[in-house]
Homo-oligomer: A and B are copies of this chain.
Amino acid sequence: MKIALAQQDYHIGNFKQNTSKIITSILEAKALGVDLIIFPELCISGYPPRDFLEYDHFIDECNNSVREIAEHCNGIAAIVGSPVRNPNNSGKLLYNAALFLAEGEIAFEYDKALLPDYDVFDEYRYFEPGKKFDVFKYKGKSIAITICEDLWNIGSEQLYTLHPMDEIMKQAPDVIINIAASPFHYEQAQLRKQLLSKNACKYKLPVFYVNQVGSQTELLFDGGSLVIDSNGRIIAEMAYFKEDFKVFELDSIIDHSIKSQVLQAHQPIELIKNALVMGIKDYFSKMGFRKAILGLSGGIDSAVVLALAAEALGKENVLSILLPSQFSSEHSVKDAIQLSENLGTNWHNVPIEDCYHAFENTLTSYFSETSFDLTEENIQARIRAVILMAFSNKFGYITLNTSNKSEAAVGYGTLYGDMCGGLSVIGDVYKTQVWQLAECINSEQEIIPNQIIEKPPSAELRPGQFDTDSLPNYDILDKILYNYIEKRKSLKEIIKLGIDEDVVQRVFKLVNNSEYKRFQSPPTLRISQKAFGMGRRMPIVANYKT
């Protein structure tokens, strides 16, 4: 049996486009003599459709698409993922289903049994867990169909009391198929390979794994679909961060006669860079945007975002605005211009001093007896936002936010100021990783001027200001943050890593007290196991002191 894997990028709710993409692949596969073509989880609607699933007519559209696709399944079968209605009169209204389409109709339905409901996942919000565990016989083979999480309950921490494959094994399948929409983080590809390989070994069966690719607002899907033989050996690995299509002969995998074609492993920082570039690109293309704008300060954060945006959108589509104030150092403007020239991107220099003085004068009768403080720093940051957004409104640029994760964590940023933007590009990248990204971008030639990488970080909102005036060194800060946010360690555990108690306590307090700021942040491309946003849901009103 010839099996094709179609690793594709879908546009949520764009039924016409998704359906047409799927049908095109089916016809292409049929022409190649393929017997079965497999598409990712919820390919019909795009993943995650979120609360659109609560709209009845959205489900009708899914059903219509499935019917239309089924009509093209003659002489070839296809497995597609779609929400389907739960016919029972109790339980959630939908199933997250894999549909086996053959002879023009739905020949078999498997409903996802393990519904992730942690981090960025909300599947139990919509779906009833499947409770039927049958194989489907096709061309002489017994096929076990599973969906993403169904194969993940195999590590040391078992989130579910059920193992769907244990149930399906009672019917002696010949092969496991897993359709997925498994979002990227920089340790995910490695983890995924281990877990799927563990499944192949446990059940002594080959595994065909098809993942979604592309970005859905914050969520990045890396693809990397896999074929694994019954010894747990990776036979084939599909492209990362782009669509791919491959055909396999099932028998050659069952009898181990096929040669393994594993891709070269990438460093985490390269994965992050590629993920962010795809994230920007796909966000713009799906939203129908073309041009981006950002404030270029001469610091490393905006430099890295500019380089990534230029790669994603083309240098002609990215405009930088230099927004110097009376507190900006001369080298900041010079470095920003140098970077723009290296990249070939356009820039404007729009000094903010006149606007600043206008606010100063407007407020003078109220503020005259106070001294320069955070207020005046924030006014500068907010004037910059007004100017960036004015360019955005006037000419249709989308503002890219340039804050990093370390800043977002401790609230080192101005709401409605440097925290503005349609998309946060590096809001899930710690400052120490931003430096690594800069090195990665410069790996072949000096694109980001070295003086940008080497200068001590400063917001330049008052004379002689440096980040370290109010924050610990970034290597210490990021270590605390990673352990608190990603690893959910306690104060005591982090102190044990050799960090001063006062520093840890101060950072914890800053993180907990900045929830209100992060609540109003732009959507942030997710590259870590625990990004701010929908994957980390903290109360704003709380008084928890670890």
Contacts and interface: CB of A to CB of B under 8 A. Distances in A.
A383 interface: yes
Interface string A35-58: 000000000001011111011111
A362 B355 contact: yes
A374 B394 CA distance: 8
Contacts of A541: 11-12, 215-217, 282-283, 286-287
Top 9 closest pairs, chain A to chain B, by CB: A13-B544, A358-B358, A90-B158, A416-B416, A375-B393, A12-B542, A14-B543, A57-B490, A375-B394
A536 interface: yes
A411 to B, nearest CB: 13
Interface of A: 11-14, 17, 46, 48-52, 54-58, 88-92, 117-118, 122, 124-125, 153, 158-161, 215-217, 282-283, 286-287, 348, 350-352, 354-355, 357-359, 361-363, 366-367, 370, 373-375, 378-379, 382-383, 385-387, 389-391, 393-394, 415-416, 420, 422, 488, 490-492, 516, 519-523, 534, 536-546
Nearest to A47: B539
Contact of A361 (B50, B215, B354): B354
Given A90-B158, A490-B56, A540 B217 contact: yes
A357 B359 contact: no
A391 to B, nearest CB: 7
A390 B416 contact: no
Nearest to A357: B358
Contacts of A12: 539, 541-544
Given A48-B539, A90-B160, 17 more contacts: A50-B539, A52-B539, A56-B488, A57-B490, A91-B158, A91-B161, A122-B537, A125-B537, A217-B540, A352-B362, A355-B355, A355-B358, A367-B390, A382-B385, A415-B420, A416-B416, A520-B522
A202 to B, nearest CB: 16
9 contacts: A50-B537, A57-B546, A89-B158, A92-B159, A359-B387, A375-B390, A379-B390, A382-B389, A416-B416
